[in-house]
Structure 1
Amino acid sequence: MAPETDFRPIILAGGSGTRFWPRSRRARAKQVLALDGERTMIQRTVDRLAPLAGPERVWVITNDLLSGTICGQLDCVPEKQIVCEPAARNTAPAAGLAAFLLERIAPNSVLGIFPSDHVIANESAFLSTIRQAVELAAAGENMVVLGIAPTRAETGYGYIETGDAFGENALRVRRFTEKPNQERAEEFIAAGNYFWNSGMFIWSARTLANAVREHLPETAPLLEKIAASWETPDFRRVFTELYPKCENISVDYAVLEPRSSKGEHHSNLFCLPANFGWNDLGSWAALYEHHLDQGNADSSKNVTESNGGLAYHAGGNYVFSPKKFVALVGVEDIVVVETEDALLITTRHHSQDVGKVVKELAAKHREDLI
């Protein structure tokens, strides 16, 4: 990354993390929990980016329920740069708003869009990859997505199909494919030119802003008006009035997929293959696998975060019950998570379905539990 490049990380932290219920709640979502060590997920995200951009360059897009907690956890980030969405509108309006704001404030800046809740095992390799991505994004109207080399036929991730090589390390993007079924996922792995979509994107503020103008012509004027009111007495009123009118759509669907349809040699859309130990911790099963990779399991592959415990003829289990002694007897591949007011018992195989519990609780108006 050239020393003169003005790199600005944009951290998206508006999600509710329902698949980590009951630890995760609306006002205590996954990104503000310490699921992997003492630092919270969002703190670790800012920490790993620090060698490339100090906290004064970091922006966070979140919501009113989480903003107070995030401000407390990220007291090094200017409070005005922790922007609270008045309504959830997915990643395209969030990233687009950042682009329009930075296009006005720092027109030559390069933005990195980062989820707030990923785990990166090899941070030096991560930084090296980001530096390459920033250089490519700064070299023109280029859009760069970090692609993760798949290790299994995963149906829970989107995929990137790549084509010709570009430069030393990048590949041209042919198309994006949303979460496939098992058969298609296995075909992707066999093909050898597919990568998992990490959800991390690098582009200049101007490039992203122009892409939003092109592909979201009704939303772009709303975001521009919001950005124009930044640091004026009218900002919150304008934001609250206009933002809910923005299209509810992901940046992948809104910008990247239409751009890839232009053909790989005309889209300026590139994949930078990455190998830095990435995990998006999308479920309790994913957290279990991460602990396994870190060597935090016993000889029977039980991961237990509790006040002592034992396992007898039990294996492959994940338990979180920090105040209680836990005994596992004759059980396999289960997940047990205890909080002050709730107890989750499921299998690792069904841990992706935990979010459905939250939907059911909402339908039953159990606001105390969500």
Structure 2
Amino acid sequence: MAGGIGSRFWPLSRNAMPKQFLDILGLGKSFLQLTYDRFLKIIPPERILVVTSDQYKELVYTQLPTLPVHNVLTEPYRRNTAPCIAYATYRLLKTDPQATVVVAPSDHLITGDDDFLGTIHCALQLAAEQDVLITLGIKPTRPETGYGYIQAVKKDPITIGTHLAYPVKTFTEKPDPEMARILMESGEFYWNSGIFVWSLSSIARQLEHWLPEVSLPFRNGLSLYNTPHEAKFVHKVYEEIRNVSIDYGVMEKATNTYVFSATFGWSDLGSWESIYMHYPRDARANAVPAARTLLENVQDSLVYSRQEGKLIVVKGLDNFIVVDTPDALLICPKDETQFRQLFNDIAHNHEEFV
């Protein structure tokens, strides 16, 4: 899935070049390229689909030159994850109805590829053998308020290799700090990674049961997929279909959902705060992924720049984000609520910079 706009990474992420196509971490590849390369270790390119916004298809073609062009599915409008997954599901059902599938965001950070791919292999095995919807859960290492949580029923797990799959009891939205601490300490909750594994038949059944208004229009187009009429058909479906996430529309309601306990390193890198947490911090708890800086009386802050030869001088900030780009400079408290409010103001008053 590669269709988001990454607004929480403004001013680096813009409508014309969003987060998934950027090398934010300075690794030499975009998040999309890193995700694609990771899956290439176990899946050939002809069996990888990328679902993205129509405006980003050329970026996908450019960044993933070995991906077959017809494996890039484009959405004319953003309608969240359920329509995106439904489109890919029925497109695949036409050509490979027995397939098991991994659904993954293109812009997450994964560390420990061998551990990750081993987990994926075991989850695919379980999904091929049983009628289950699997989400990969990450054991919390801190009381994180930026992630959703999944509560597992810690009895009668399914064992696949060295991995355990637990029935899901509840999904919990992003908690406040105190609730996050309680969830972590309970030992029953996992971070919701947003990575899913299932068979096409299993997800199609659940989509048709819980979201018929989303799934049936795509099912009705089976004869049109992989034909010259596909784009026009999909455009019409997206004009009428509602915006709904797969978590809310299916995963929170289905009775055959399992959380797969995973141990690989993971972050959704969903905000500048998460970038701050990713980088090493100095003695004053500053993260400074910038070439040339001078900091005085600065603490608990992120100073970010990818511009070579430019000196960044900061004085007297506590718990701030400083992000420098060629045409925009962000100086803002790390508080996520304040950033959202600020971004809304920017979008309203300075749309050309969004």
Q: Same fold per TM (> 0.5)?
A: yes
2:94 aligned counterpart, secondary structure: helix
For the pair 1:326 / 2:312, whether they are aligned, the reply is yes
Amino acid at match of 2:33: Q
**TM-score with structure 2 setting the length:** 0.93
Aligned counterparts of 2:177 and 2:301: Cα–Cα separation in 1: 24
Amino acid at match of 2:65: D
Question: Which residue pairs with 1:229 in the alignment?
Answer: 224
| 1:112 CA displacement | 0.6
1:214-225 → structure 2 map (5 Å cutoff): 214-225=209-220
Question: Which residue pairs with 1:127 in the alignment?
Answer: 117
| 1:269 CA displacement | 1.6
| 1:305 CA displacement | 3.3
Residues 172 and 269 in structure 1, CA contact (< 8 A), matched pair in contact too:
yes
Aligned counterparts of 1:161 and 1:290: Cα–Cα separation in 2: 26
Aligned counterparts of 1:355 and 1:227: Cα–Cα separation in 2: 40
| 1:352 CA displacement | 5.5
Amino acid at match of 1:171: Y
| 1:351 CA displacement | 4.2
Question: Which residue pairs with 1:201 in the alignment?
Answer: 196
1:256-295 → structure 2 map (5 Å cutoff): 256-259=251-254, 267-292=255-280
Residues 18 and 354 in structure 1, CA contact (< 8 A), matched pair in contact too:
no
1:42 aligned counterpart, secondary structure: helix
| 1:170 CA displacement | 1.3
Residues 283 and 352 in structure 1, CA contact (< 8 A), matched pair in contact too:
no
2:325 to 330, 334, 339: 339
Question: Which residue pairs with 1:361 in the alignment?
Answer: 346
For the pair 1:86 / 2:71, whether they are aligned, the reply is no
Stretch deviating more after TM superposition (173-182 or 123-132):
173-182
Aligned counterparts of 2:183 and 2:39: Cα–Cα separation in 1: 31
2:63 to 66, 73, 77: 73
Aligned counterparts of 2:223 and 2:248: Cα–Cα separation in 1: 26
Question: Which residue pairs with 1:19 in the alignment?
Answer: 8
The change in CA–CA distance for 1:332 and 1:182 in structure 2 (over 3 A counts) is: closer
Give ranges in structure 2 of 5+ residues lacking alignment. none
| 1:62 CA displacement | 0.7
Amino acid at match of 1:234: H
| 1:52 CA displacement | 1.4
Query: Alpha-carbon deviations, 1:201-260, whole Å to 9, x = none?
Result: 00011111111111111222211134431122211111111122222100011111111x
Question: Which residue pairs with 1:167 in the alignment?
Answer: 158
**TM-score with structure 1 setting the length:** 0.89
Give ranges in structure 1 of 5+ residues lacking alignment. 1-11, 260-266
Aligned counterparts of 1:313 and 1:357: Cα–Cα separation in 2: 25
Aligned counterparts of 2:295 and 2:261: Cα–Cα separation in 1: 40
Aligned counterparts of 1:338 and 1:214: Cα–Cα separation in 2: 48
1:214 aligned counterpart, secondary structure: helix
1:304 aligned counterpart, secondary structure: coil
Aligned counterparts of 1:118 and 1:271: Cα–Cα separation in 2: 18
Amino acid at match of 1:70: V
Residues 31 and 107 in structure 2, CA contact (< 8 A), matched pair in contact too:
yes
Question: Which residue pairs with 1:6 in the alignment?
Answer: none
Residues 109 and 266 in structure 2, CA contact (< 8 A), matched pair in contact too:
yes
For the pair 1:31 / 2:16, whether they are aligned, the reply is no
> Aligned residue pairs: how many?
346
1:258 aligned counterpart, secondary structure: coil
Aligned counterparts of 1:199 and 1:156: Cα–Cα separation in 2: 13
Query: Alpha-carbon deviations, 1:122-163, whole Å to 9, x = none?
Result: 111111111111111111211111001112222221111111
**Identity, % of aligned positions:** 35
2:220 aligned counterpart, secondary structure: helix
Query: Alpha-carbon deviations, 1:295-335, whole Å to 9, x = none?
Result: xx444443333342233343333222324112233433321
Question: Which residue pairs with 2:250 in the alignment?
Answer: 255
Aligned counterparts of 2:241 and 2:9: Cα–Cα separation in 1: 28
1:247 aligned counterpart, secondary structure: coil
